[in-house]
Amino acid sequence: MSITFETPNTDFPPASVPLPAVDLFLYDFEQHGLASARRPSALPVTYLYLVTAWASEVSISRARDEHRMLSEVMNIFTRYSTIPDSLVQAALTELRVPEGRLPTISVRPNRFQNVSEFWQALGGVPKPALNYSITVTP
C-alpha cells in the first residue's frame, strides 16, 4: 500500500502513486495563542489532515476495500499517543515536548462546515475519510 500527500481531486492518483494508497492531505493548520516578540514560534501548531483511502483499480469491491483500509489506518492512529522515535525524521527532532516525545494524533470530528462544498472545491466526488490532527510545539 502506498502513502501519499497529494490533493485528493479528480486527477488523483497521479501516475507516481501506485494503488492501493492512503492519502494524507494537509488542508489546514492553526497556531494556538498569541505569539510574543520574544518567542514568536514557541506556540503549539496543529496540522489538520484529511485521510482518504484509494483501492486498487482491479478491486472487486472498491468501497469495501477503502473502508477496510480506513479502519486499519484508524487502528494505527489510535494505537499511539506519540509518534514512535523510530519514525521521527531528523527535521522533527527539535520539536520535542518536555517528556522528549512528539505529541501525535487525534482522530477528530469533521471540521468542515459543509463536506460536499469541500469535495466540490477539490473537483471530486465525496469519499469516506478520516480527519487527523497532530499538534507540535516548537
Whether residue 14 has pLDDT greater than 70? yes
- Asked if residue 51 lies in contact with residue 129, where contact means CB atoms within 8 angstroms, the answer is yes
Domain layout of the chain by residue ranges? 2-136
Dist CA 40 CA 48 (whole Å): 21
What pTM value is reported for the model?
0.76
pLDDT of the residue at 119: 76
Q: Hey, what's the cell of 116?
A: 460536499
Choose between 35 and 136: higher pLDDT: 136
2-136: in CATH 1.20.120: no
Percent of the chain's residues with pLDDT above 90: 25
Determine the number of helices (DSSP H) and then strands (DSSP E) in the chain: 2, 5
- Among 55-64, 68-77, 82-91, 125-134, the minimum mean pLDDT is found in 82-91
Q: How confident is the model at residue 69 (pLDDT cuts 50, 70, 90)?
A: very high
